[in-house]
Chains A and B, each alone.
Chain A
Amino acid sequence: MIKLENISKTFNRGKANEVKAIEDLSLTISVQDYVVIVGANGSGKSTLLNLIAGSTLPGSGIIEIDNHPVTRLHDYQRSRWIARVFQNPLSGTAPDLSILDNFRLAALRTQSKGLRIGTNNVFKKEVQEKIALLDMGLENKLMQPMGTLSGGQRQALTLLMSVMDECKILLLDEPTAALDPRSARLVMETADKLIADFKLTAILITHNLKDAHTHGNRLIHMAEGKVIKDFSSEKKLNLTQNDLFEWFS
């Protein structure tokens, strides 16, 4: 589903603050893989995710998504495959727009946003039913601005928004980093459920080693812009949480 070949990315090339974020990295992620990436700050996890999403373009190397060459495509052009949840709950939604308007845009992620009014009663009903599944009591607050909700509610809604339109790949960049433990658990449960129900290929970046251990079917450890450990399904199952803790001690 996602193929990266010899990707390198250097920020501030030739300057004193030059950072080699990703160095000659090759990685293939198959359909319905649920990859968890761990690594210290500055190991290149987020850059990797941005390279896949297209918000950063690589210095060299080739990227393919669903057998399409996308190396030079921008983030808004790759949205036909990719939905994202950001670390900051504010980034994934528009705070001044109503929940309904946010969902309307999400429902058009792979389509053009035309000159017709799409927030009709049929659509409202559809969103209401979807949101009711979260069991947060938000289904009757569709006209409320997104900004009035808590971080946990916004992250859960962002997740739900990702499957409003056809979605193949879900990128989760520390989606629970800003949340309290209870909201974090709810968001991770929702993510797991959506990934399974919609047969998504997913990548989760996390600093929570417990999450890294329990979620996903593949675990990658990154350091200094490279993949230094890569455990696929059975091998991941044999890992204990303590093994993970030892990597970082």
Chain B
Amino acid sequence: MDFYLTALLQGLCFSGIALGIYISMKIFNIPDITTDGSYALGGIVTGVTLTHAYPLYISIVVVLLAGGLAGAITGLIHTKLKINALLAGILVMTALYSVNLTIAGRSNLPLIGTASIFNVLNFTADVNVNTFIILLVIVAVLTGFIGYLLKTDFGIAMRATGNSETMIRALGVNTDRMKIIGLALANALTALSGFLITQQQGFADISMGVGIVIIGLGSVIIGETLIGWLRITSVWGSLLLVLAGTIVFQLVLAVTLAVGVNPNLLKVVTAVLVLLIVSLPRLSFRSHD
């Protein structure tokens, strides 16, 4: 049971990535893979600030700013230099590896006896349950914030930017600026996931971001599939299903490990799982033809 609870906690920690990918991929229609770098950046910045005994709120702010900056750079490269978004993301992600290594000074930062967001409030003696409650609160606040944002006039303009660029420019929106803001927001959320995971697992690692974008993608695609099945059109419904996607994804991985699949094969399992989810709608579509 604890095994699945850990998976659930991990899923909640990853909700920042899922919301970030949802914003870049679904709202702005930009395939952004800065994610791997900005997630590790979030983790490393958390490790450095907390081991230097900075208070948590400073750590959070610095993490959000660092992730936002990384996303903004990808956005600038993509919009101002007219470079393909995928390439822009790869460039920033690659550069971030060195940046992270420089910030950390070494490849691994253990957090021992440092402040943790999961110790801020103690609801129960059970550490995992306490973490679960705190994560629920954080995810609820995040979702509330993003959901509200998407319903504001600014949020409608964000959604229109990814949907009909000619229209929204004719309606007075600087789409370049909008995309930069969007990618900054997406990567700030991703970095926040790095912040949470680092404290949940008790260390930051330079390579913690490798392949993490696939978790976000998988979660969003599961969410999208659910949205399609349930014919959800509301912003809130979509966000909740994306979060559900994150948790489903982690639980499926946990089951895979539980049935005895070699942990070394975890990334293969992840990739195959995402492939399955992506191709499922198409496969079933064909049989209906």
Contact = CB atoms under 8 A, between A and B. Distances in A.
A117 B153 CA distance: 6
A109 B171 CA distance: 5
A76 B169 contact: yes
Interface in B122-171: 148-149, 151-154, 156-157, 159-160, 163-164, 166-171
Contacts of A118: 152-153
B244 to A, nearest CB: 21
Given A79-B172, A84-B170, A93 B164 contact: yes
A113 B151 CA distance: 11
A95 interface: yes
A62 B153 CA distance: 34
A92 B154 contact: no
Given A74-B174, A105-B156, A105-B160, A94 B167 contact: yes
Contact of B154 (A82, A91, A109, A114): A114
Contact of A101 (B154, B159, B172, B173): B159
B164 A116 contact: no
Contacts of B159: 94, 96-97, 101
A80 interface: yes
Given A86-B166, A113-B154, A114-B152, A97 B160 contact: yes
A122 interface: no
A114 B166 contact: no
A119 B151 contact: yes
Contact of A76 (B148, B173, B233): B173
Contact of A106 (B164, B171, B174): B171
A82 B157 CA distance: 18
Interface string B263-274: 000000000000
A108 B233 contact: no
B166 to A, nearest CB: 4
B108 interface: no
B114 interface: no
A76 B164 contact: no
A77 B174 CA distance: 8
B256 interface: no
A105 B171 contact: yes
By CB atoms of chain B within 10 A, which of A74, A104, A105 has the most? A105
B169 A55 contact: yes
Contacts of A98: 233
Interface string B70-98: 00000000000000000000000000000
Contacts of A16: none
B175 interface: yes
A94 to B, nearest CB: 4
Interface in A49-70: 53, 55
A74 to B, nearest CB: 7
Interface-centre pick from B156, B166, B170 (highest chain A CB count, 10 A): B170
Nearest to B156: A101
A192 interface: no
A127 interface: no
Q: Which of B153, B159, B174 has the most CB of A within 10 A?
A: B153
Given A91-B164, A96-B163, A101-B159, A116 B172 contact: no
Interface of A: 53, 55, 74-77, 79-80, 82-84, 86, 90-98, 101-102, 104-106, 108-111, 113-119, 143, 145
Given A74-B169, A95-B163, A113-B153, 6 more contacts: A101-B156, A101-B159, A105-B157, A109-B171, A113-B173, A117-B148
Interface of B: 148-149, 151-154, 156-157, 159-160, 163-164, 166-175, 233
The 8 closest A-B pairs by CB, nearest first: A79-B172, A94-B164, A94-B163, A113-B157, A113-B153, A94-B160, A91-B166, A84-B170
11 contacts: A76-B171, A76-B172, A77-B172, A86-B166, A91-B164, A96-B159, A101-B156, A110-B172, A113-B157, A114-B154, A116-B153
